[in-house]
Amino acid sequence: MLVHIPGVFSPDEAREIQHVLQRAKWGDGKVTAGHQSARAKHNIQLPEDDPVAIELGNQIVQRLSHHPTFVSAVLPRKVFPPLFNCYKEGGSFGFHIDNAIRALKGHPERVRTDVSATLFFSSPETYDGGELVIQDTYGEQQVKLPAGDMVIYPSTSLHRVAPVTRGARIASFFWTQSLVRDDGHRRLLYDMDQAIQRLTRDVPDHEALIALTGTYHNLLRQWADV
Q: What pLDDT digit, counting tens, does each position of 42-83 carry?
A: 899 999 999 999 999 999 999 999 999 999 999 999 999 999
Which residues have CB under 8 Å from 42's CB, separation 6+? 29, 87, 90, 91, 92, 93
Instruction: State the average pLDDT over residues 177-199.
Output: 97
C-alpha Rg value of the chain to the nearest Å:
18
CA–CA dist 124, 128 (Å, integer): 8
Mean pLDDT for the chain?
94
Model pLDDT, residue 35: 55
Instruction: Give the HSE-up count for residue 34: Cα atoms under 13 Å, Cβ half-sphere.
Output: 12
Query: 112 - beta bridge partners?
Result: 101
Q: Binding site: which residues? A: 96, 98, 159, 169
Of how many residues is the chain composed? 226
Q: Binding site for Fe cation: which residues? A: 96, 98, 159
Pairing assessment for the beta strands 41-42 and 92-96 based on DSSP bridges: antiparallel
Q: Flag the least confident range among 29-38, 89-98, 162-171.
A: 29-38
Model pLDDT, residue 38: 58
The pTM assigned to this predicted structure is: 0.92
Model pLDDT, residue 108: 87
Reported confidence tier of residue 34, pLDDT bands at 50, 70, 90: low
Please write the tens of the pLDDT for every residue from 132-168. 999 987 789 999 999 999 999 999 999 999 999 999 9
CA–CA dist 9, 56 (Å, integer): 12
Q: E strands along 72-209, which residues?
A: 76-79, 83-88, 92-96, 101-103, 110-112, 115-120, 128-129, 132-136, 139-143, 150-154, 158-161, 164-166, 168-178
Closest among 225, 202, 204, 222 to 214, alpha carbons compared: 222
CA–CA dist 92, 106 (Å, integer): 29
Pairing assessment for the beta strands 150-154 and 115-120 based on DSSP bridges: antiparallel
Model pLDDT, residue 132: 98
CA–CA dist 131, 151 (Å, integer): 12
Model pLDDT, residue 31: 66
Q: Binding site for 2-oxoglutarate: which residues? A: 169
| Residue 144 near residue 174 (C-beta atoms within 8 A) | no
Reported confidence tier of residue 37, pLDDT bands at 50, 70, 90: low
Model pLDDT, residue 200: 95
